[in-house]
Structure 1
C-alpha cells in the first residue's frame, strides 16, 4: 500500500494542476491572438503588451497578501473562490467590446489568479515531505507545461477560424471541473501562528511593484507616455528602497527576505535564474510576433511552431529527475544555460524561406534544449528550504518571477520599437537583434550557476542517500 503522505500529496497536486493549466492556457492562447486583437481594437500590435503587463502588475501587487489571506480565511475557501472568480472574469474578457473593458477584465483575472495559484502551491509544499517533493511538483507542473504546448496552436486555430474571444471562453469548462475537485480535495491548512498584517510593508511593496511595472510598460511604448514612465521608474526606485529597509527591520514583513540566505534559492530565483527567465520569457513574446509579422505566417501556423517548441520541452521532462540525480544541480544548470543560449541563437538565424517542416523541427529542438534546465531551476528553489519558510519563499519567488516577466516583455517591446525606428510594425532586423540580446542574457547566467555548491539540492535529488551508500560500501571494503 502506498504511503498516505504520498497519496495525499498526489491528489492535492492534481487539483492544483487544474488551476495551473487554466492560468497557463489563458496566457499562451492570448499571445497568438494579439495581432488580431490589435486590429480589432485599432492599436499597434506591440502596444498590446499592456494586456500582459497589466496582468503582471496586478498580480505582483497582490502576491504579498496571498499567503496571509490563505492563512486567515482558510486555504480551501480562498482557492475555490479564486477559481470561480478567474473563470467568470475569463468569460468577461471574451465578452469585452472595447480595449478598456478588456483591460478591466484582465485586472479581475489577475486578482483571482494571484490568490489561486500561490495558495495552492503553499498547500502542496506544506503537506508534501521532502522525499516526495519532486514527484508532487512533477504532477502539479505537467499541465502547466502542457498548456503552452496546447495553447499556441489552439489560440491560433481559434483566432484564424473562429474569433479571438473564444480563446477565453475555453476556461469555462476547465474552471467548472476544477471547482468541484477543489471543494472536495483541497485541505484546509491551519496556520501555526496568526501573524498581524503588515500594512506599511504592503503599502510600500505594492506601490513599488505597481510603479516599476507600469513604468516599464510606459517606457516600452513610443509617445508622451515615455516621460511618465521615467518618472514612475524613479518613484519605484525610491519606494523600493523604503520597502527593502522595512522588510529588513519589521518583525513580520509582508515579503520576508530570510529565504535569500539559502544559496540554492538565491541563485535559482534572484541571480542566474533571473537572467535565464528573461531570455525564456522574452523569447516567448518575440517569436509569435516574428512568425506572424516577420515571416507572414497565419496565427494557426505560428501556433504550430510554438507547439513544436513546447512539445520538445515536455518530451524531456521525464528524464529530468534521473539527470539531476546523476549529475547534480550545478552541472545540469551550467550546461543547460549554455544550451538555451545556443538554441536562442539559432532562432535569430531563422528565415521565412525555410520549409515549414524544417522550422517545426528546429523549434522542437529549441524546446528540448531548455527542458531539463527549467525543471532543475524550479526544483532547486525549494530544495534546501525548511517547511517553516515555504510560505515566505513562495511569495518572494513569485514576486521576482512576475517582475522578471514584466521586465522581459516590456524590454522586448521597447527594443523592437527602438530598433525599428519607432515604426508601428517591427522590422525583421529588429527581431533578429532582439533575439540575439536574449541569447546573451541566457549565456550570462552560466558563471552564476557555477557558484552553486556541488551538493546543492542533494536531499531532493537523492544524491545524499547515494553518497552515503557509496561511503558504506567503501568502508566495508576497507
Structure 2
C-alpha cells in the first residue's frame, strides 16, 4: 500500500525541491546570463504561469490518455525542461526552459494525486497522503539551503542536472508500480473554460508574484491580479451554464469537499509564507549565512517526516473534525511563535519549536488532503484533483504576497529598512490568518471522513 505513494513522491520531491532551490542561486545565474537578479525573478514566474495554465486541464488529459501515461510523460517533460535550464544561454532561453518545466510540473502533482486516490482504498487514504504530502512539506524548506550549497561549492547548472537521475528513478518505478488497468474516459474539452481558467489563474498567481517579488511596479501586479479575479468570476458564470465544464464547481455542493478545500487553503495562506519569512529573518535580522539558516529551518522538514507514522490512528481516535480544528489552531500558534525568536534565543529552543511545527503541519495536511476526497465519487476524482491543486497553488502564492505586503508596510514606518520587528509582525499576521481555518473546520459534519476510518474488507480486497 505504501509503494504507490512513495513512487509518486519521488517525482514530486524532484518538482517541489526544484521549484524552491532556485531562489538562493539567482545572483549566480543572473551573472552567468548577463542579466540582473530582479529580471531573473520574472523568469521564475514563468514556471508559475505554466502551472496555472495546465493544472486545470490535467484531469481531462488523464481521462483521455490514462493517468499512468500522463504521469510518466510529465516526468519526461520536466526533465527536458531541466536540461534546457542547465544549458540556457540568455534570459529568454531560461524563461522558456522554466515554462517547459512548469508544463511537466503542472501534470505531475494533480495526476499523481489522481492516481493515489483512484488506487487507494478510502480507509487507507490518510496513510497514503501522509507519504504523498512529504515532498510538498519538505521541498520548500530544503530547497533554498540545497541551492545555496550547490551554487557555493559546485555550479548553479547542477541545480537542474541533479534532476536527471532522480527523474529516471521516478520514471522507472512508475513504469513498474503504477496501475496498468485504467480505463479511458473520453469527454469533450471545454475550450472556453480552458482559456478563461488559464487567463484567470495565470493572472492571479502572476500578479501576486509581482506584488511579493517587486521586479515590476506593484501597480502592474495589482492590475494583473484584479484581471485574474475578473476572469475567474466570468469562468464561474460559464461553469454554471455548462454540462461538462473544465473544472466542475458543482463539487463544492459537497459540504466536506468544500470545507476541506477552503479550510485547507486558508490554513496554507499562513503556512505558505513561512519558507519566505523564516530564512529571510534568520539571514537579514540574525546575521546567519544561507547555509546556517537552511540548516535551522531543516528542523521543520524533519518534523514533517516524523509524523509519517500514527496519523491514521489519531484521526480514527478523535475524528477529522476535532483533529483539524485543534490542528489548525495549535499549528497556527507555532507559526506565530516564530515571531518570538530573537538573536539571543537559544538555537536549541528554536529548533524544537520548528520541529513540532513541522510535525503538526504534516499531521494536518495528511488529514485535510484525504478528507477532500472522502465523499467524492470515483467518476468525479479527475475533476476534484485539479481543483485541489489549483486551490493549493493560489493559496500559497497569496500567502507569500500577504507576507511580502506586511513586510513592506511595516518597513515603510522606518525608511523601508527591514528590521527584526517587521518579521515578527509578519509571523503574527500569517499565524492569525492560519488560525481562521479553525472556524471553517468547526462547521464540518461531526461524522466527516467516516469512510476514511472504516475497515472495509471489500475495498482492501479490491486494492489487492
Normalised TM-score (structure 2):
0.89
Could you say which residue in structure 2 is the equivalent of 1:342?
333
1:257-310 Cα offsets, whole Å, 9 max, x none, are: 12212222111212x222110111011211122222222211111111121011
* CA distance in structure 2 between the aligned counterparts of 1:152 and 1:221, rounded to whole angstroms: 16
- Tell me if 1:291 matches 2:282: yes
Could you say which residue in structure 1 is the equivalent of 2:218?
226
- Tell me if 1:16 matches 2:2: no
2:133/2:365 contact within 8 Å kept: no
* CA distance in structure 1 between the aligned counterparts of 2:190 and 2:260, rounded to whole angstroms: 27
* CA distance in structure 1 between the aligned counterparts of 2:170 and 2:304, rounded to whole angstroms: 25
Correspondent of 2:107 among 106, 112, 115: 115
Correspondent of 1:75 among 58, 62, 67: 67
SS of structure 2 residue aligned to 1:420:
helix
SS of structure 2 residue aligned to 1:318:
coil
1:17/1:144 contact within 8 Å kept: no
* CA distance in structure 1 between the aligned counterparts of 2:210 and 2:131, rounded to whole angstroms: 38
- Tell me if 1:360 matches 2:360: no
* CA distance in structure 2 between the aligned counterparts of 1:329 and 1:340, rounded to whole angstroms: 15
Could you say which residue in structure 2 is the equivalent of 1:441?
433
- Tell me if 1:242 matches 2:234: yes
* CA distance in structure 2 between the aligned counterparts of 1:360 and 1:97, rounded to whole angstroms: 40
* CA distance in structure 2 between the aligned counterparts of 1:198 and 1:320, rounded to whole angstroms: 39
Structure 1 residues without counterparts, runs of 5 or longer = 1-5, 466-478
* CA distance in structure 1 between the aligned counterparts of 2:101 and 2:113, rounded to whole angstroms: 18
- Tell me if 1:273 matches 2:273: no
* CA distance in structure 2 between the aligned counterparts of 1:92 and 1:424, rounded to whole angstroms: 38
Of 55-64 and 161-170, the range deviating more from structure 2: 161-170
* CA distance in structure 2 between the aligned counterparts of 1:458 and 1:340, rounded to whole angstroms: 24
1:13/1:136 contact within 8 Å kept: yes
Normalised TM-score (structure 1):
0.86
Could you say which residue in structure 2 is the equivalent of 1:214?
206
Could you say which residue in structure 1 is the equivalent of 2:21?
29
* CA distance in structure 2 between the aligned counterparts of 1:154 and 1:221, rounded to whole angstroms: 21
Correspondent of 2:158 among 141, 163, 166: 166
Could you say which residue in structure 2 is the equivalent of 1:474?
none
* CA distance in structure 2 between the aligned counterparts of 1:340 and 1:34, rounded to whole angstroms: 32
Correspondent of 2:130 among 130, 138, 141: 138
1:338/1:442 contact within 8 Å kept: yes
Could you say which residue in structure 2 is the equivalent of 1:177?
169
1:157-216 Cα offsets, whole Å, 9 max, x none, are: 323433443332221110111122223333356446411010111111111112222222
Pairwise CA distance, 1:420? 2.5
1:403-447 Cα offsets, whole Å, 9 max, x none, are: 112212233233323332397864333222111110110121212
- When residues 17 and 458 of structure 1 are mapped into structure 2, their CA distance, relative to the original with a 3 A threshold, is same
Of 289-298 and 435-444, the range deviating more from structure 2: 289-298
Could you say which residue in structure 2 is the equivalent of 1:325?
316
Of 363-372 and 33-42, the range deviating more from structure 2: 33-42
1:33/1:159 contact within 8 Å kept: yes
Correspondent of 1:390 among 381, 399, 402: 381
Could you say which residue in structure 2 is the equivalent of 1:419?
410
How is 1:465-476 mapped onto 2 (pairs within 5 angstroms)?
none
2:328/2:437 contact within 8 Å kept: yes
* CA distance in structure 2 between the aligned counterparts of 1:98 and 1:174, rounded to whole angstroms: 26
- How many aligned positions are there? 455
* CA distance in structure 2 between the aligned counterparts of 1:122 and 1:229, rounded to whole angstroms: 33
Structure 2 residues without counterparts, runs of 5 or longer = 458-464
- When residues 74 and 312 of structure 1 are mapped into structure 2, their CA distance, relative to the original with a 3 A threshold, is closer
Could you say which residue in structure 2 is the equivalent of 1:157?
149
2:41/2:213 contact within 8 Å kept: no
* CA distance in structure 1 between the aligned counterparts of 2:158 and 2:261, rounded to whole angstroms: 35
Pairwise CA distance, 1:463? 8.6
Pairwise CA distance, 1:342? 1.3
* CA distance in structure 1 between the aligned counterparts of 2:455 and 2:183, rounded to whole angstroms: 33
1:158/1:167 contact within 8 Å kept: yes
* CA distance in structure 1 between the aligned counterparts of 2:151 and 2:289, rounded to whole angstroms: 9
